[in-house]
Amino acid sequence: MLSNEMEFKNLIKLAKNIIVITGAGVSAESGIPTFRGAPKLRWRNYKPESLANMPAFVKSSSLVWEFYHYRREICLKASPNNAHLALSSFELRCLKENKQCTLITQNVDGLHKRAGSKNIIEIHGSLFETKCMKCHSIEDNFTSPICDGLANRGSPEEDSKLSDIPVEQLPHCDKCHGLLRPNVVWFGESLPEQALEDSIKLLNKCDLCLVVGTSAVVEPVASFPHQVIARGVPVVEFNIEKTPITNNSRYFFQGPSGSILPSLLS
Ligand code: BJW
Ligand code: ZN
């Protein structure tokens, strides 16, 4: 075993309170496109950030729902990969060894939960939850298609016809008939209060932080590893390429997370 690997395993042995921060790279090997790296999410001519915001939804809920419908369908067909599975086994092992291990994921694809992770904070929400624009109630929703109006819609091709689904044919709330939106955190929106509060507590008490498959540029999560490093606590990064946190990390393991995590966390 390489010395970095041995030293990393020793850090795990000594740690009592571990947080794992994940991003889109963890799901890349499940065939889910990432936002900034390869394979990159391509949908018509739009940049994801131009659709993942409230003004875009207000301007055309039809267009934004088509985009999310497309992504929901990809995620429903995908399966957790070896990285998701390694992280859920790791949580179980920590539990047996009386360590606390919490997964803070920016991913909205639900694959960590499907892999069996239990102690998880989905800090950017979930594609499989809806939020009512009127009564604000949040509900699980795995229905495919989410409503008849979106059946056979959401093609990523650039020449797709204009998005013109009448608003009454988009998903609506069972309770108050308000328009539903995907319960994900859009640019310019605050993160869910409880999730953020819990994460900050964990950042302040963890003794080891693993960061997997995130470009570490989207705030506020991008700052989390730096907050941990500022307390003198080791951060260990796993990614196919360097990120803004690599130089300040204790160790950087380079490679696809589905290939490198299973042995490093075993
Ligand atoms: C592999 C791999 C493999 C590939 N194995 N690795 C301070 C300064 C500047 C701007 C801001 C700031 N504070 C707030 C902002 C604005 C904004 C922001 O951060 N903008 C930046 C882009 C500059 N932040 C916000 O608006 C946040 N809200 C907020 O802070 O509220 C208060 C506030 C608002 C406005 C102003 C000031 C304060 C909300 C952010 C919500 C982000 N939402 C999204 C969309 C969710 C819904 C959806 O999916 O549609 O979340 S954006 C998108 O990026 C998504 C992701 O969770 C997030 C992070 O991306 P991630 O996971 O890192 O993926 P990628 O693609 O970037 O990277 C993939 C990585 O994997 C790469 O490193 C690859 O190398 C690697 N990889 N294959 C391992 N096999
Ligand atoms: Zn409602």
Q: For the segment 231-255, what is each residue's pLDDT rounded down to a tens digit?
A: 999 999 999 999 999 999 999 999 9
User: 69, 84, 112, 124: which one is catalytic?
Assistant: 124
Whole-number Å distance, alpha carbon 130 to ligand 2 midpoint, is: 10
What is the number of the ligand closest to the CA of 138?
Answer: 2
Of the pLDDT bands very low, low, confident and very high (cuts 50, 70, 90), residue 84 is very high
pLDDT score of 1 more than 70? no
State residue 37's pLDDT score: 84
User: Which atom of ligand 1 is nearest to 260's Cα?
Assistant: 5
Give, using CA atoms, the residue closest to atom 13 of ligand 1: 219
Give, using CA atoms, the residue closest to atom 77 of ligand 1: 25
- Beta strands 17-22 and 100-105, pairing class: parallel
Selection from 221, 220, 236, 6 nearest residue 105 by Cα: 221
Whole-number Å distance, alpha carbon 172 to ligand 2 midpoint, is: 8
Whole-number Å distance, alpha carbon 259 to ligand 1 midpoint, is: 24
Of the pLDDT bands very low, low, confident and very high (cuts 50, 70, 90), residue 22 is very high
What is the number of the ligand closest to the CA of 173?
Answer: 2
In the numeric block, the tokens 């069996």 are attached to: 116
Domains and CATH numbers, the chain: 1-31+80-124+191-266 (3.40.50.1220), 33-77+126-184 (3.30.1600.10)
CA 161 to chain centre: 30
Of the pLDDT bands very low, low, confident and very high (cuts 50, 70, 90), residue 162 is confident
- Residue 131 near residue 138, CB atoms below 8 Å: yes
The whole-angstrom separation of Cα 214 and Cα 237 is: 9
Give, using CA atoms, the residue closest to atom 8 of ligand 1: 219
State residue 247's pLDDT score: 97
What is the number of the ligand closest to the CA of 261?
Answer: 1
| Catalytic residue status for 124 | yes
